[in-house]
């Protein structure tokens, strides 16, 4: 649905992005992550035909952003970080204006506006001025304007910024419900947002792609050793000493007392050595009580930091 090949954009002598390539399939939700100034906004503005690239090629729904910008715009919905709202318009009036700007017929837009307001949960504020709405409702109106033309591709820039936790959950669920119907690019600084919402992530750093994959696959590639959290009831030092004797264990780190008599340990082991069976046997043979055992995976935050950290001189 989206194909980007060797995309490069220079602002005079300043590089925005260079040699950026990725593809996104139909119905995917893809997180677009990167530090400030990394090239996220530049890439999204090229995909939305805001300006052309210096070189390279990008296609949306089969249409080239340089050769067929009108066709691309007809197939995308865009919600920038600062939502383009008119505070003195009523919600219905604003959405009508957007529909007209997108050249929707009168009969079509009247029906669609009603459907979109219901879908976005803004029917009850349809006659209120946009400027009098809460931040959460303004974000919903922003989503409605992006969806009004029933786009195949939805590009969202920080859609939950400034929202309270309840509103974040609501918007996140709303976006997830669109999966399969539309291809979605979600640019966000909230990494937990991407891990909960997106099928894959694209990480960009200093204008170049650092990684394109699922968080799970990135974890497997970047995690040098395996880590397991165990909680065991028993004698603290005895448990630690014996855990260290398991073949493949590199280190055992005490994580404190989880509850009276129950101690937590982070067991680091060789990535190629599966230790869960031996761990379980050791607990059984020593007549300890195993309260919890689970693998510790790199979080998306850890992955992001690892891939975007500055090179040390």
pLDDT, tens digit, 9 for 90 and up, residues 205-223: 999 999 999 888 887 788 8
Task: Tell me how many domains the chain contains.
Answer: 2
Count of CB atoms situated within 10 Å of the CB of 290:
16
Residue-level pLDDT at 174: 83
Residue-level pLDDT at 15: 92
Per the DSSP assignment, residues forming a β-bridge with 63 are 60
Q: Is 313 domain-assigned?
A: no
More confident of the two residues 82 and 24 = 24
Contact predicate 219/298, CB 8 Å: yes
pLDDT, tens digit, 9 for 90 and up, residues 276-304: 999 999 999 999 999 999 988 877 777 88
Task: Collapse the DSSP code of 56 into the 3-class scheme (helix H, G, I; strand E, B; otherwise coil) and give the result.
Answer: strand
Please check whether residues 160 and 275 belong to one and the same domain. Answer: no
Residue-level pLDDT at 241: 94
Residue-level pLDDT at 88: 95
Domain that holds residue 55: 2-215
Kindly report the pTM of this predicted structure.
0.77
Please check whether residues 211 and 229 belong to one and the same domain. Answer: no
Q: Is 310 domain-assigned?
A: no
Please check whether residues 127 and 31 belong to one and the same domain. Answer: yes
Please check whether residues 238 and 92 belong to one and the same domain. Answer: no
Q: Is 308 domain-assigned?
A: no
Instruction: Spell out where the chain has E strands.
Output: 2-11, 14-24, 29-33, 55-60, 63-64, 76-79, 153-157, 183-187, 200-205, 208-213, 226-233, 249-259, 262-269, 289-296
Which of the given ranges, 63-72, 173-182, 299-308, has the highest pLDDT on average?
Answer: 63-72
Residue-level pLDDT at 311: 45
Q: How far apart, in whole angstroms, are the C-alpha atoms of residue 289 and residue 282?
A: 11
Please check whether residues 28 and 139 belong to one and the same domain. Answer: yes
Look over the chain and give the mean of its residue pLDDT values, rounded to a whole number.
Answer: 89
Helix, strand, coil share (%) of the chain residues, nearest 5: 35, 30, 30
Please check whether residues 9 and 147 belong to one and the same domain. Answer: yes
Residue-level pLDDT at 113: 93
Please check whether residues 103 and 245 belong to one and the same domain. Answer: no
Residue 225, pLDDT > 70, answer yes
Please check whether residues 240 and 121 belong to one and the same domain. Answer: no
Q: Is 302 domain-assigned?
A: no
Chain CA centroid to CA 13, Å:
31
- Residue 269 is part of a domain; what is its CATH number? 3.30.70.100
Convert 176-214 to b/e letters by CB count within 10 Å (16 or more is b): eebeeebbbbbbbbbbebbbebbebbbbbbbbebbbbee
Q: Which of 168, 201, 204 is nearest to 184 (CA)?
A: 201
At 312, the pLDDT band (50, 70, 90 cuts) reads: very low
When mean pLDDT is compared across 94-103, 201-210, 221-230, the lowest value belongs to 221-230
Residue 310, pLDDT > 80, answer no
Residue that is last in its domain, among 197, 215, 233: 215
């Amino acid at each position: 649905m989206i194909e980007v090949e060797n995309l490069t954009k220079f602002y005079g002598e300043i590089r925005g992005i260079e040699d950026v390539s990725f593809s996104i399939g139909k119905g995917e939700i893809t997180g677009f992550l990167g530090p400030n100034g990394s090239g996220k906004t530049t890439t999204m503005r090229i995909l939305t035909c805001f300006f052309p690239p210096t070189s390279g090629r990008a296609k949306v729904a089969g249409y080239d952003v340089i050769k067929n910008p009108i066709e691309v715009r007809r197939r995308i919905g865009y919600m920038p970080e600062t939502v383009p709202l008119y505070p003195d318009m009523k919600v219905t009036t604003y959405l009508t204006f957007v529909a007209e700007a997108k050249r929707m017929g009168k009969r079509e837009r009247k029906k669609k506006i009603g459907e979109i307001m219901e879908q976005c949960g803004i029917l009850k504020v349809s006659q209120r001025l946009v400027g009098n709405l809460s931040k959460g409702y303004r974000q919903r109106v922003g989503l409605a304007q992006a969806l009004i033309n029933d786009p195949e591709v939805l590009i969202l820039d920080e859609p939950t910024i400034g929202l309270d936790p309840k509103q974040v959950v609501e918007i996140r669920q709303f976006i997830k419900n669109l999966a399969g119907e539309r291809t979605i690019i979600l640019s966000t600084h909230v990494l937990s947002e991407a891990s909960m919402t997106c099928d894959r992530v694209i990480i960009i750093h200093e204008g170049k792609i650092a990684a394109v994959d699922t968080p799970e696959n990135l974890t497997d590639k970047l995690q040098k050793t395996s880590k397991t959290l165990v909680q065991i009831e028993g004698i603290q030092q005895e448990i630690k000493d014996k855990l260290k004797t398991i073949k493949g264990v590199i280190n055992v780190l005490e994580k404190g007392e989880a509850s009276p008599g129950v101690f937590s340990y982070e067991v680091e082991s060789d990535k190629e050595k599966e230790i869960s069976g031996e761990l379980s046997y050791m607990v059984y043979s020593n007549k300890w009580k195993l309260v919890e055992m689970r693998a510790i995976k790199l979080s998306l935050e850890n992955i992001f930091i690892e891939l975007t950290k500055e090179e040390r001189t």
